[in-house]
Amino acid sequence: MRDHPVVEQIQKNGFPNMVAQPEHAGIDYFGFEILNGDCIVEYGGEIILKENLERFLQEELGFNFKTA
């Protein structure tokens, strides 16, 4: 008795990649993964994801953000 055609295909070719994985482009200053297409900032040889820029400015350069 044969297996189901899908089972045979998986046995022959392996599991299909259900979700395409984005390309990895590195790690930012805080250890977050940078993917192709992410917005980054370069400062003093460091790479910072744009989402982490405010944190970097506060923690590393002492910036103080306030509401006017």
Give the architecture-level CATH label for domain 23-63: 2-Layer Sandwich (3.30)
What integer pLDDT is reported at residue 18 of this predicted model? 65
What integer pLDDT is reported at residue 6 of this predicted model? 83
Domain chopping of the chain, boundaries: 23-63
Pairing of strands 33-35, 24-27: antiparallel
Question: Digits of tens for pLDDT over the chain (68 positions)?
Answer: 788 888 888 888 887 776 767 788 899 999 999 999 999 999 999 999 999 999 999 999 999 999 99
Pairing of strands 33-35, 40-43: unpaired
